Structure 1
Amino acid sequence: MDFNFKEEQLQLADALKRWIARDYTFEARRAIVGSPAGVSEAAWATLAELGLTALPLPEAQGGFDGDAVDMFVVMQELGRGLVVEPYFATMFGAEFLRRGRAHEALLERVAAGDLKLACALGERQSRHDLRDIAMRATPDGAGWRLNGEKKVVLHGAQAGLLIVSARTAGAQRDEDGITLFAVPADAAGVVMRDVRMLDGQRAADVLLRDVTVGADAVIGTVDEGWTILEAAADHGAGLLCAEALGAMDALFGATLDYLKTRQQFGVPIGKFQALQHRMADMYVHLEQARSMALLAAVRLAAEQKAAGHQAEDACTGIVAERRRAVAAAKYRVGQAARFVGQQAIQLHGGMGVTDELPASHYFKRLSTIELTLGDCDHHLARFIAQPGFYDDEEAA
């Protein structure tokens, strides 16, 4: 399989890399993270000017019809720069609207950079199971009334629109009976508690008390939101894998530089064979994770393309490949992130955990990514549960 990027993708990555090096330095990022807002409107405007907010959106809504491989390139650079703006949250939310195919005006605002999104999916009891939904949506005249609470909504307080999953039928953990809603963040009854997370990103606990929305707020079909929810979650996991690779790349490079400059007994510690072996192990983990993340991006791009040209029942095999590839990638990237991060901190010594050094910030971000949209254990179990994993299933 050809994993070489196109010239246009490399140019976009280079433009983003140059902006980060010039205007989004480590010290500039620390200042943004420490600010009351926790994000920079100037940085967000630059991302929009570079066309990143429009990249994955349909051309009809002002986008560039970019696929998962295009987004892989972008997310990798954002990971290297530890960018804290709500780009991932917004592009994750945009995938719901794109698949719902009924909110063109909202997608146009997202493409222009005028609207930020957040996905309110997880709940206190659900952990990584996005089917476990206690929030209820009940009919209210021509619209709906939502009641419940969502936990750790990435950039919820910075968003203008929330993508909310609610139960409209069935038992709490059923796939059937889930409905997705586009809820204005300033709607009456929406209460948020904004906090700064371990990695510097912002998140909010969101309480919805008798929040009313119209029938046009439904994304997709009533009671049948699981298909969109699962596909969008896989898309989001693919984006996170790419971001983690960028962070691991940068952390590996910083650790290598540190071993070349830090001296003990009159020589750089990088000359000690034991430390060289540890760096070699880190490199192996990094490259294996890169291969799996790229494969997931290719599978996601193929599924996106097929969904736009084929009937749903004709995409069954492609969807199955997407599930397997994303689960495997999230598991392998999560393993690599943990190993590379821990080794980098140890090789930096006491300096590795200080706020003044980028190493600790990369490790915190990698740790958070591993827990977002399913940790290693969750995706390993998901991969094993896919049809055909066991020999007897294949034989049957």
Structure 2
Amino acid sequence: MDFDLTSEQSQLKDSVDRLIGATYGSLEARQNLAKEPLGFAEANWAQFAELGLLGIPFSEEEGGFGGGPVETMVVMEALGRGLALEPYLASVVLGGSAVRLGGTAAQKDEIIPGVVEGSLRLALAFTEKQSRYDLFDVAASARKADGGYVLEGAKSVVISGDSAQRLIVSARTSGSRRDRDGISLFLVPANAEGVKIHGYPTQDGGRAAEIALSGVKLGPETLLGTEGEGLAILERVADYAIAALAAESVGIMEALHGLTVDYLKTRQQFGAPIGQFQVLQHRAVDMLIALEQARSMACYAAMMVEHHDTAERAAALSAVKVQVNRSCRIVGQEAVQLHGGIGMTMEYLGAHYFKRLTMVESLFGDTPHHLRRVSSAGGLAA
């Protein structure tokens, strides 16, 4: 099987690498961008749109560029290497996938062109304080009224929720809190009456938001997909998120491994670079092995994320998350240990890579959560 990139994919890789390299050339540049009102520079977001990065997952019929999981993997790796702050995961991967999978033709015509050109940002509001990693644990409600719906409830840790103009909110139209049926998705304007958004910085330098919904009145056209069947869309979106995070993690680990090896070559101890000590060489190799294992699983995720068999796809993506999480921990912790005290200082880029790896490890399910899923599925092989 040929795992090499096509010429078009290689050109995409070169373009996004140049963009991220020019934008995030230093830790100081990243910290300055994080101080922007939205947590990133809107001018950079416009550059993403000009290069076509925001339209990659959407078909040409939908106004996009007809890319797929491999193209998304290429972009996410580059974003990881640069520790990019732009809400690509939130708007394009999460929100964009929800609209692409569940939207009507009219909804796609309204939303996707804005996402592609960068004038409309999306955020997926699906987690609640009690839900942890269970997508079906939804307490927010949507009751019918005056031909539409009225939303009540709250959403927590909404990734880039304070920079989105449109929220995709999961709410229960029937059933009890932990029922798998009865969950619906709604397109909610961020400035709608009754929506209160409290944004805050996250530990990895990004942004998230707590969102309160009180008497939010919505028309019937805001329902995304079939009423009561939103969980299937959420589960598919989570698959795309895991594949994207796997690729981002590879980019982060690749950069952090390179940073660590450079440090071992230059740090002097006992009159010689510490990289000459065999035990440290072995630990650097352990980091490389973990990185390559994660890279293989990121490729596997890109292959399996659109697999037709739901059960096989779910087991595969959970296996990806398990290995990537393990690699994140190995590479992150070894980097800190090999750097010594400097590895945890906020003035050093390596510490910020470590923080992002720690955050990624808990997004969309930690290792025990996905191990249980793989085990319940009977493993990857019959």
Specify the TM-score bucket, using the shorter chain as the normaliser: over 0.9
Which of the numbers 359, 365, 373 marks the counterpart of 1:374?
365
Query: Displacement, 1:4?
Result: 1.5
Which residue, 248, 251, 257 being the options, matches 2:262? 257
What is aligned with 1:2? 2
Which residue of structure 2 aligns with residue 306 of structure 1? none
Q: Give the equivalent residue in structure 1 for 2:297.
A: 292
2:86 counterpart residue number: 85
> Which residue, out of 335, 339, 345, partners 1:344?
335
SS of the residue corresponding to residue 127 of structure 1 reads coil
CA RMSD of aligned residues (A): 1.3
Partner of 2:61 in structure 1? 60
Partner of 2:349: 358
Alignment TM-score, normalising by the size of structure 1? 0.93
Number of equivalenced pairs = 377
Match of 2:178 in 1: 173
Q: 2:245 & 2:183 partners in 1: Cα distance? A: 24
Deviations, residues 197-251 of structure 1 (Å, cap 9, x unaligned)? 0000000000000111111111110011111110111111111111011000000
Show the counterpart of 1:218.
223
Mapped to 2, the partners of 1:49 and 1:267 lie a distance apart of 48
Deviation at 1:321, TM superposition (A): 2.4
After TM superposition, give the deviation of residue 346 of structure 1 in Å: 1.0
In structure 2, the partner of 1:199 is 204
Unpaired runs of at least 5, structure 1: 304-314
**2:284 maps to what in 1?**
279
1:55, 1:63 within 8 Å by CA — same for their partners in 2? yes
Distance 1:35 1:48 in 2: 19
Query: Could you tell me how far apart the structure 1 residues matched to 2:321 and 2:191 are?
Result: 34
Q: TM-score, normalised by structure 2?
A: 0.96
Give the stretch that moved more between structures: 23-32 or 112-121. Answer: 23-32
Report the secondary structure of 1:3's partner residue: coil
1:235 aligns with 2:240: yes
Which residue of structure 2 aligns with residue 307 of structure 1? none
* Separation in 1, partners of 2:55, 2:380: 42
Q: What amino acid is aligned across from residue 30 of structure 1 in structure 2? A: Q
**In 1, are the aligned partners of 2:38 and 2:162 still within 8 Å (CA)?**
no
- The alpha carbon displacement at 1:34 in A equals 3.0
Indicate how the Cα distance of structure 1 residues 58 and 75 shifts in structure 2: closer, same or farther if over 3 A, else same.
same
Q: Distance in 2 between matches of 1:39 and 1:23?
A: 11
* SS in structure 1 at match of 2:54: coil
Distance of 1:200 and 1:343 partners within structure 2: 22
Question: Given residue 19 of structure 1, which amino acid in structure 2 is its aligned partner?
Answer: L
Q: Which moved more, 1:15-24 or 1:245-254?
A: 15-24
The whole-number CA distance in structure 2 between the counterparts of 1:40 and 1:15 is: 19
User: Of 95, 113, 117, which aligns to 2:97?
Assistant: 95
How far did 1:113 drift?
1.1
**Cα distance, 1:2 vs structure 2:** 2.4
- How many Å separate the matches in 1 of 2:346 and 2:30? 12
**Pairwise CA distance, 1:390:** 9.9
| Consecutive unaligned residues in structure 2, runs of 5 or more | none
152, 161, 169: which one pairs with 1:164?
169
Counterpart AA for 2:331:
V
Contact preservation (8 Å) 1:118, 1:162: yes
Against the structure 1 CA distance between its residues 255 and 390, is the aligned structure 2 distance closer, same or farther, given a 3 Å change threshold?
Answer: closer
Q: Are the counterparts in 1 of residues 128 and 155 from structure 2 also a CA contact under 8 Å?
A: yes
Residues 264 and 274 in structure 2, CA contact (< 8 A), matched pair in contact too: yes
CA distance in structure 2 between the aligned counterparts of 1:293 and 1:175, rounded to whole angstroms: 29
> After the TM superposition, which of the residue ranges 242-251 and 350-359 deviates more from structure 2?
350-359
CA contact (8 A) 2:199 2:210 kept: yes
Per-residue displacement from partner, 1:30-88 (whole Å, max 9, x unpaired)? 11113443111111111111101111112122201211111001000000000011111
